[in-house]
Amino acid sequence: MPGAVEAVEMQAALLRLRRTSGLPVVFGGLLSDARHARIAELNGTQTTALRGLVISAGSGLGGKAIALSRPCAVTDYASSRHISHEYDAAVAAEGLRSVVAVPVVVRRTVRGVLYGAMRTPVTLGDRTFDAVVATARDIEQSLAVRDEVRRLLAAGREQVSDPGTVPGAWEDVREAHRELRALVPKVLDPALRDELLEVCGRLASASGARAPAARDVRLAPREVDVVACVAAGATNAAAAERLGLRPETVKGYLRSAMRKLGAHTRLEAVVAARRAGLLP
């Protein structure tokens, strides 16, 4: 079931869409199961007719977009022969005529539907159509990041509870730590970001073999990210690509981290960070 955070992200996306596209009415919702989406977020509507409407796959314009997993549009909703008309009363109550519906698809699975509409029967131009599609892609990216965060959090908690003693087990812990830290800057929800960082901290100290005297070392989050990439054998260029930074910026973070850690080489920096409990 969609959560409160997803609802906030949908609201923000609709607000951006209305500003960038010029569409007077935008609305949408996420799927509650494989075949039904509930219209929960609206912007620019004048009535409550659409709120809470449950859209079934194959029914109406949005249902057609869900079933086909591709954008669909009509110039005049009420008279269109290319869609079924289960939702005509709600659409008419809001006075909508020209409507586009774009599915939100994550890893080939439809997760929601986004609508843009006008109250006049006109053909929507490419610029408007593209704006709705682009907004749907933004929502897809947000959902994909959230899915990955949840997967890695589950894996991270499992590694924390039982890092194991078999060969390679600690490399799994370290890889989970690197992946989680790389996702932190992409997460907009403060609570989820804090949860990510908390699991990262538990992974970093999971072995218990840390030097007490080194625990006073404090690195900035991005400095830890860079050192974690270095620990995986990444070059500055590779670390920059992974973290979405410029190579020069990575070099600066690494230089700063090495100074704080009292390290003169990349390897010394990794060893010192592990002794300080900053890396697993």
How do residues 80-91 score in pLDDT, each as one tens digit? Answer: 999 999 999 999
Contact between 202 and 251 under an 8 Å Cβ cutoff? The reply is no
Distance (Å, whole) CA 229 – CA 126? 42
Distance (Å, whole) CA 62 – CA 273? 52
Instruction: List, for residues 185-237, the tens digit of each pLDDT value.
Output: 777 777 777 777 777 777 777 655 454 544 578 888 889 889 888 888 888 99
Q: How far is CA 248 from the centre of its chain?
A: 27
Distance (Å, whole) CA 187 – CA 179? 13
Question: To which H or E segment does residue 176 belong?
Answer: helix 169-183
Instruction: List, for residues 139-179, the tens digit of each pLDDT value.
Output: 888 888 778 777 766 766 665 555 554 445 667 777 777 77
Pairing of strands 25-33, 41-43: antiparallel
Prediction pTM value:
0.65
Contact between 98 and 3 under an 8 Å Cβ cutoff? The reply is no
Place of tokens 């409407």: 53
The predicted pLDDT at position 201 comes to 77
Distance (Å, whole) CA 110 – CA 71? 12
Instruction: List, for residues 108-144, the tens digit of each pLDDT value.
Output: 999 999 999 999 999 999 999 999 999 999 888 888 8
Using the predicted structure, report yes or no on whether residue 9 has a pLDDT greater than 50: yes
**Coil vs helix vs strand at 132:** helix
Distance (Å, whole) CA 2 – CA 54? 14
